[in-house]
Amino acid sequence: MHDELAHLDATAQARLVERREITPLELVDAAIARIERFDPRINAVVSRQFEQARERARGALPEGPFRGVPFLLKDLSSGAERGAPLTYACRLGADNLADHDTELVRRYKAAGLVIVGRSNTPEFGITPTTEPALFGPCRNPWSLDHSSGGSSGGAAAAVAARLVPLAHATDIGGSIRIPASACGVFGLKPSRGRNPSGPKVGEGTGGLPGEHCCSISVRDSAALLDATSAPDFGAPYVAPFKSRPYLDELDAQHSRLRIGVMRAPFGGQPVHADCLAAVESAAVLCRELGHEVRDIAPRVSDMPAVAEAFFRLFVVSAALHLKSLEGMVGRPAGEGDIEPLTRAVVSLAGQVSGTDFVLAQRTLQRMSREIAALHDDHDLLLSPTMAQPPMAIGEIAYQAGEPLEDYFARSGPYAAFTAVFNATGQPAMNVPLHWNATGLPIGVQFAARLGDEASLFRLAAELERARPWASRLPPLIL
């Protein structure tokens, strides 16, 4: 039965519980067995909360849509759970325990999810690969020598290896979509303000971050967003209200979509042939499904200024994470407490004045209006998710003392297509439709107008029916 459960998404697992064909404890025990069997090879789960999960599964769980389903939280601040480890994948926080549940975690629990552990992430989530010094690298289930992406690499790898059917993930520049692409799973970054960031945080830096999940199926992602996306009172942003549950969108009739295909990122970086092939295949499929598909080559005015603005918000975000953790543990970080990349990035935050920060926000807001104008003629934008396939473990690792521009030149292809939609706040998703000749997943990204997750879910469900991916499993678990 354990092996059979591994092939079911969260919705199907919850239905077994609802029909009393299985108990929540049996679901949790099955997930624990899979983690113990497969995770030593991929290192996706860095904190095991097995006994707490079993105790919760034995108790009176809420009658939510995912009652009894095992779940992983990402080891960053939005995944804080009272009494559980919250390390930020940083040696400074190795023994830190969270003192509260975030509002998002509270809603996960209200949905009936059972938290079995925490997933691997780079230190403070600042890299597009998951290779923290504290826990070691998270490996790709499709090829153990390759990166699982980042910063939600543990979440995506765990779902790809069917350790759990869905897992919490966060995204400040592509950190849901990048690992979802690298690991061949579905991953949607919602609109700014769609999911809560409280109670202790009003917003992620400059409104860049988004929180949701990586999942096996589209319906799991839709149902989870239905469960978590009520207004977060007091928050600085409120996403446009949806007209009906996202789960209802999956089988809804919808009109022909106008899809613009971007084959080059706004920054002009080169794109690997495998990623272009994935986009071409997706474009052909969308045409076969009756949608209007045409190539576009949009440009953003003064892209260097946009890149600099994003970088300024990014380094300030890293500094804020470090400052927050220092406050939790009650001391400043020493020389050996943080990684060289974090130290180099945080050192630049001190050079960003308050005026610089506000001007950076204004630059991204101006750019957001240029991107929004594209939707006058296009409902969705299609592109590669990453500009190149997943790289080998260690291939883009930062070398202490090297110029940061050299590191970002190596890591930039991961986020070349994704980061712009963090700046605009638009919803965007990775859809796992393509694998290259060596067997590595190559995802494609669709982005919609601000607030229009509905169109993304409708198309994703259509693509999933036309080209199912759930039965395609990595060699690790075959």
Tens of pLDDT, residue by residue over 220-246, are 999 999 999 988 888 888 899 999 999
Tens of pLDDT, residue by residue over 75-126, are 999 999 999 999 999 999 999 999 999 999 999 999 999 999 999 999 999 9
Run of H or E including 171: strand 166-171
Which of 304, 302, 303, 282 minimizes the C-alpha distance to 291? 282
pLDDT for position 24: 98
| Residues assigned a catalytic role | 74, 151, 175
Which of 170, 205, 202 minimizes the C-alpha distance to 418? 170
Residue 444, φ and ψ in degrees, nearest 5: -120, 150
Asked if residue 1 has pLDDT above 80, the reply is: no
Asked if residue 328 has pLDDT above 60, the reply is: yes
pLDDT for position 34: 96
pTM: 0.98
Please name every residue paired with 381 in a beta bridge, in sequence order, or none if there are none: 260, 447
85, 198 Cβ separation under 8 angstroms = no
Whole-angstrom distance, CA of residue 284 vs CA of residue 432: 15
E strand intervals along 391-462: 428-431, 444-448
How many residues are recorded in the chain? Answer: 478
pLDDT for position 234: 87
Tens of pLDDT, residue by residue over 413-428, are 999 999 999 999 999 9
Residue 474: pLDDT band with limits 50, 70, 90:
very high
Q: Which residue has the higher pLDDT, 202 or 100?
A: 100
pLDDT for position 204: 78
Residue 390, C-beta contacts closer than 8 angstroms, at least 6 positions apart? 140, 143, 146, 147, 148, 149, 182, 440, 441
Which of 275, 276, 293 minimizes the C-alpha distance to 284? 293
Query: DSSP assignment of 46-73, as one string?
Result: EEE-HHHHHHHHHS-----TTTT-EEEE
The residue written with tokens 């090879």 in the block is 41
Other Cβ atoms less than 10 A from the Cβ of 457: the count is 26
In the three-class reduction of DSSP (H, G, I as helix; E, B as strand; rest coil), residue 186 is classed as strand
23, 9 Cβ separation under 8 angstroms = no
pLDDT for position 2: 60
267, 307 Cβ separation under 8 angstroms = yes
Asked if residue 219 has pLDDT above 80, the reply is: yes
Taken in order of first residue, the domains within the chain and their CATH numbers are 2-477 (3.90.1300.10)
Tens of pLDDT, residue by residue over 255-297, are 899 999 999 999 889 999 999 999 999 999 999 999 999 999 9
